[in-house]
Amino acid sequence: MKKVHKDDFIAVFKDIKFWIFVLFITGTWSFYNIYDQQMFPVFYAGLFSSVETGTRVYGYLNSFQVVLEAIGMAVIPFFVNKVGAKKALIAGGMIMICRILVSATSESPYIISLIKLFHAIEVPLFVISVFKYSVSNFDSRLSSTIFLVGFQIASSLGIVLLSIPVGMLFDAFGYHFVFYLFSAIVSVILLFGVVFLSNGRNTGPRSGVVQNETL
C-alpha cells in the first residue's frame, strides 16, 4: 500500500463528490439528530397524561431500542453489502422521513412509540452505509479520515449551526410545523442524493476489492 501524502488529503477536499456527500449528510443526519435528540424526548413525554409518566415510558422504550440497535449493527452490514452504499443511504433517508412525518401527523403514543423503534434500523443502516460509501468512492487509505470529517464533524457542525434557527422556529410555530419542515428538507436532500451521490466507482488506490454499486 502506498504511503499517504498531504496531496492525497488535499485531493479529497478538491473532489466535488466529497462536498456532495457532506451536503447530503448535513441535510439528512444533522436534521434527524436535532429531531431525535433535542425535540423528540420532550415531544414524546407530552403525549401522556403526565410528563413524569411519559419520561418513564420513554426511558423503557429507549432501552429496548438500544438493544435492537445493537442487533441491527450485527445484521445490517449484510444488507448494505447486498444493495450497495448509495441505495442503503437512500433507504436510511426514507426511514428518517417516515419517522419525522409520522411524528408530525400523529399524537398517538402507541404509533409514536412504534416509529421510535425505527431508530434501531436507521442508525446502523446510515452509519454503516456512510463508511462503505467512503471506502467505495474515495481513496480507501483515507476512508477513516473521510468518515470522521465528512460524517462526524460535518454532521456535528450542522447540528450546532442549525439548532438556534430551529429553536426559533419551534418557539414561533411549535412541534408539528418544525416536523413538517424537517420532512420537506430531508425529502429534498434525499432526491438530491438520488441524483448526485456517486455509484461507487473508485479510481484511487485501494487495499481491497470493492464492487461497483449502481442505483
Cell of 105: 401527523
- For residue 194, pLDDT over 80 is answered with yes
Residue 3 lies in a domain: no
Residue 86 lies in a domain: yes
Residue 170 CA: distances (Å) to CA of 32, 38, 58, 173: 15, 11, 21, 5
Contacts of 38-43 spanning 24+ positions with Cβ under 8 A: 38/163, 38/166, 39/170, 39/175, 39/178, 39/179, 40/103, 40/116, 43/103, 43/175
What is the sign of the dihedral through the CA atoms of 58, 64, 68 and 71?
A: positive
Q: Average pLDDT, stretch 35-51?
A: 95
> Mind listing the pLDDT tens digit for each residue in 80-138?
999 999 999 999 999 999 999 999 999 999 999 999 999 999 999 999 999 999 999 98
Short-list 1, 33, 3, 8, CA closest to 146? 8
> Mind listing the pLDDT tens digit for each residue in 7-21?
888 888 899 999 999
pLDDT at 55: 96
Residue 32 CA: distances (Å) to CA of 6, 82, 115, 134, 159: 34, 25, 14, 21, 9
Number of independent structural domains in the chain: 1
Rg (Cα) of the chain, in Å, rounded?
Answer: 18
Residue 52: CATH number of its domain: 1.20.1250.20
pLDDT at 213: 40
Residue 206 lies in a domain: no
Cα–Cα distance for residue pair 196/198, rounded to 1 Å? 6
Residue 44 lies in a domain: yes
Residue 208 lies in a domain: no
Q: Is the separation of the CB atoms in 72 and 121 below 8 Å?
A: yes
pLDDT at 159: 96
- For residue 2, pLDDT over 90 is answered with no
Domain span including residue 21: 12-196
> Mind listing the pLDDT tens digit for each residue in 18-28?
999 999 999 99
Residue 156 lies in a domain: yes
